[in-house]
Chains A and B, each alone.
Chain A
Amino acid sequence: MGNRAAEFSRGYRSRALIWCLTLSAALALALAASAGAAEAAVTVTVLGQPAPVTATPVVQDGILFVAARDLTGPLGFGLRYEPGPPKSIVVSGSGEISLRVGDVTIRTPTRDIRSPAAPFISSGGAFMVPVRGFCRAVGAAAVWESQASRLSICARLTDLRVAPEDGRVVLAADTTFPVPFQTTSDATPRALLTLKGCVLDLERPEFPVRAWGIEEVHASQASSAPVEVRVAVTLSKPKPVAVLSQNPSAQVRVQIGVPEDISQPPVLPRLLKLCFARNQMDEAELRVVADAPIGPYSTLLVGRPARLMIDVGDVIMEIGEVARDIPDALVTRVTASQKTGGPFVARIVLNLVGVSPYSSALEAGGKELVIRFAKAPVTGRVVVVDAGHGGEDPGAVGPSGLKEKDVNLDVAMRLQKMLLDSGINAFATRTSDVLIPLYQRAELANDLAAEVFVSVHSNAWVTPNARQGSEVWYGNDYSLALAHVAQDELVRRLRRRDGGVHRNIRLVVTRETGMPAIIAELAYINHKDEESLLASSEFRQLAASALCAAIVRYLESTPPPEQVPAAPGSREATPERGAAQEVEGE
């Protein structure tokens, strides 16, 4: 077991941290339960080899302690005792770390690590160190199997790749300590590499290669005896496998195939960035940019909530996971992630305001996938504008006597005119100071087969002068997109407090209408500040323009009914690589 080049300097990764946390939690509980009875039966394995202990491991306050000398020897470290006080040890590899009795801090060349417990001297005189903290400091990982009372101190697999090295195609596995390994191959055809006494610490344990006759690499963890990492390399046809490194090794190199294979260059495109912007035609446009021609891709538009799913096959996501909100009239959010466990697909999802018509094309020599949303026309589409209350029903009344019904009517009339000017076929439920029954208002919109119903209201709190702001109310899920667009426009243009979007299934006009329907509450008429705003012509004009913009934005993002694609579920939602609808190649 010579040549133990321990690497203290390696950054400690989150994945390994999770390992250690879970493991030590399990360890603590399991050992607490079994400590006394099964103490003598605890076995320690270090880097895949049995490591007899000279001092019995103990648990104190749920933390496992092992004699330092029982770990340092098998891991290939030097160990020096300092008499103190306090007594301390220095563990030496390529650098030095020190642990002191009664001190939770473990000093390493790069940083100090705070261990959950401090070392102590056992009754037998052994320098006992907390296993978790010790492993963190030296770049190892601890695995506790409670059933077998077995503690495994493992190396971490920090890099796994298939790449040309010295004129050969090589599977390279880098670990924090030298580990024993073995290779086999089977008829699948696959080459298999087993790294003993090792745990996974990889960002991508599975990845495609698609070059040199190698399809994919899958690394998996065996977390019970023996603790090992199994790497499977799927091949397009059987190939010879040759070990290039000594055994054990911290840099395992396995040649796959013959040197001639290297003449075939790698082909997998890497996804470099996602760009969302409005183009010169004011169309919303997403560009998926790769460094090589993009292969098969598929798109799928689903409704409720409306979103476009774009699957790009056989790419490497260089950009990592993406989740970003977009301030756009049509698209609200983009997310992207690499799917694993099946075909290697980068899935990009655009959350949409409505089920917008779109087109997709490969540009820039196939290296850019462009998704374009054409705006739906708004001309001639039917919208119903409803001025709340009226006649004998004044609605809410402000502190100085302003009646809600009058504000609502004025704003609704302004809105109707703006909509008509935009080419929208806008109807009003009332154009004068009369009371139209609630059910009749909804019926009008249903009879007209309107696409949007907007009821203009002014709000009131239970007590005067207590609450302010703009709010939108809705009753059905299919009205939610319209509600959010309206709230967005109201808050942006009226600059009142954002009172939020709220649902009340009992409100008659949004309950009885069969199309997206909202109640827009411009401001609080029973608050004196907002009452005076609602009394002003400028504010009313602004409110009407906010609602007009919202309606136009919503209609542009939602094709007229006859163009609406089939409901979700009627089309396959998880496209296979190269087998989905609308697949286009270069």
Chain B
Amino acid sequence: MKKLVVALGVLVLAGAGAAGYYVSVRPARPALEAPQSPPLHPQPTPSTNYKVTIYLPDPESREGLLVPLTRTVPEPPTPAIALELLLKGPQAEERASAIFPEGTRVLGAEVKGGVATVNLSKEFREHFPAGTMAATVTLYCIVNTLTELPEVRAVRLQVEGKDLKTLGEMDVSQPLIRDEGLIERTRR
């Protein structure tokens, strides 16, 4: 973040300097002209695709367990779309593991008051992994992926339409909030 601020600062300063020159000085000396820079925000074309960030776990990780991965979809992303992308798992070249227990289906996902309620089929609970690591990354891949969507601040889990109280050895009775600490640091 700090780097970004510094970079922006430099951009602003450079811009200000160059602009000041343009306004106040005879434009006859080419060596002092501002360099041509590309526009900062390219205009999206009407038929644009949408980018979605999903999180999957990296089996080699030591610090940040979850890797952000980018997917492109043709329509504005919703929780259901993000969950389907999670279900599809990693692409061939990605160093990440699939997380959903075998046979899990997404029965529904709706957002109300900033909380996304995710309804999963019974396989999610029946085949939910033991093992603290597997349980943690499975849960937080879902939570962190959904909270990437601007309208989602927290996630509530349901199985076959019923609110989950516990999942494996975890207490999930309260809406789950994003955990930045689990995300791979270099790409956070």
Give the interface of A toward B (CB within 8 A): 28-30, 32-37, 59-62, 388-389, 393-397, 404, 438, 457-463, 466-467, 471, 473, 498-500, 502-509, 511, 519, 521, 524-526
B21, B65, B129, B134: which contacts A502 (Cβ < 8 A)?
B65
Residue of B nearest to A30 (CB): B17
A506 and B17 contacting across the interface, CB-CB below 8 Å: no
B168 to chain A, nearest CB (A): 9
Residues on the A chain within 8 Å of B182, using CB = 502
Compute how far the CA of A511 lies from the CA of B31 in the bound complex, rounded to whole angstroms. 64
B179 to chain A, nearest CB (A): 8
Number of interface residues of B (CB under 8 A): 43
A499 and B62 contacting across the interface, CB-CB below 8 Å: yes
A37 and B24 contacting across the interface, CB-CB below 8 Å: yes
Contact (A461, B134) CB under 8 Å given A33-B24, A466-B97? yes
B170 and A507 contacting across the interface, CB-CB below 8 Å: yes
B11 within 8 A of A: no
B14, B57, B171: which contacts A506 (Cβ < 8 A)?
B171
Residue from the set A32, A393, A473 with the largest chain B CB neighbour count within 10 Å: A32
A457 and B132 contacting across the interface, CB-CB below 8 Å: yes
A5 to chain B, nearest CB (A): 38
Residues on the A chain within 8 Å of B21, using CB = 32-33, 35-36
B38 within 8 A of A: no
B59 within 8 A of A: yes
Contact (A33, B131) CB under 8 Å given A462-B57, A498-B62, A506-B171? no
B73 within 8 A of A: no
A506 and B176 contacting across the interface, CB-CB below 8 Å: yes
B16 and A33 contacting across the interface, CB-CB below 8 Å: yes
Compute how far the CA of A511 lies from the CA of B136 in the bound complex, rounded to whole angstroms. 14
Interface residues of B in 83-125 (CB under 8 A from A): 97-99
Residues on the B chain within 8 Å of A388, using CB = 169
B134 and A396 contacting across the interface, CB-CB below 8 Å: yes
Residue of B nearest to A463 (CB): B97
B180 to chain A, nearest CB (A): 11
B133 and A32 contacting across the interface, CB-CB below 8 Å: no
Residues on the A chain within 8 Å of B137, using CB = 462
Interface residues of B in 168-188 (CB under 8 A from A): 169-172, 176, 179, 181-182
A504 and B13 contacting across the interface, CB-CB below 8 Å: no
Residue of A nearest to B96 (CB): A462
Compute how far the CA of A60 lies from the CA of B29 in the bound complex, rounded to whole angstroms. 9
Residue of B nearest to A471 (CB): B133
A60 and B32 contacting across the interface, CB-CB below 8 Å: yes
A396 and B24 contacting across the interface, CB-CB below 8 Å: no
A389 and B134 contacting across the interface, CB-CB below 8 Å: no
A521 and B169 contacting across the interface, CB-CB below 8 Å: no
B14, B29, B169: which contacts A29 (Cβ < 8 A)?
B14
Residues on the B chain within 8 Å of A30, using CB = 17
A461 and B169 contacting across the interface, CB-CB below 8 Å: no
Residues on the B chain within 8 Å of A396, using CB = 129-131, 134
Residues on the A chain within 8 Å of B99, using CB = 462
A467 and B24 contacting across the interface, CB-CB below 8 Å: no
A34 and B170 contacting across the interface, CB-CB below 8 Å: no
Residues on the A chain within 8 Å of B171, using CB = 506-508, 511
Compute how far the CA of A458 lies from the CA of B132 in the bound complex, rounded to whole angstroms. 8
A525 and B131 contacting across the interface, CB-CB below 8 Å: yes
Residue of B nearest to A505 (CB): B179
Compute how far the CA of A502 lies from the CA of B181 in the bound complex, rounded to whole angstroms. 9
Residue of B nearest to A32 (CB): B17
Residues on the A chain within 8 Å of B166, using CB = 438, 508
B17, B61, B98, B136: which contacts A33 (Cβ < 8 A)?
B17
Contact (A506, B170) CB under 8 Å given A394-B130, A462-B134, A466-B59? yes
Residues on the B chain within 8 Å of A503, using CB = 179, 181
A-B contact pairs, 27 of them (CB 8 A): A29-B14, A34-B20, A34-B24, A36-B21, A36-B26, A37-B25, A61-B32, A395-B131, A396-B134, A460-B131, A460-B133, A461-B97, A461-B134, A462-B97, A462-B99, A462-B134, A473-B136, A498-B62, A502-B133, A504-B140, A506-B172, A507-B132, A507-B136, A507-B169, A507-B170, A508-B166, A511-B171
The contact string, 1 if C-beta is below 8 Å from chain A, for chain B 7-36, is 000000110111011001110010110000
Residue from the set B14, B131, B179 with the largest chain A CB neighbour count within 10 Å: B131
B158 within 8 A of A: no
Compute how far the CA of A511 lies from the CA of B132 in the bound complex, rounded to whole angstroms. 14
Residues on the B chain within 8 Å of A32, using CB = 17-18, 20-21, 32
Residues on the B chain within 8 Å of A519, using CB = 132
Residues on the A chain within 8 Å of B62, using CB = 498-500
A37, A460, A508: which contacts B170 (Cβ < 8 A)?
A508
Residues on the A chain within 8 Å of B144, using CB = none
B129 and A33 contacting across the interface, CB-CB below 8 Å: no
A509 and B17 contacting across the interface, CB-CB below 8 Å: no
Residues on the B chain within 8 Å of A438, using CB = 166, 169
A461 and B26 contacting across the interface, CB-CB below 8 Å: no
A461 and B32 contacting across the interface, CB-CB below 8 Å: no
Compute how far the CA of A498 lies from the CA of B59 in the bound complex, rounded to whole angstroms. 13
B139 within 8 A of A: yes
Residues on the B chain within 8 Å of A505, using CB = 179
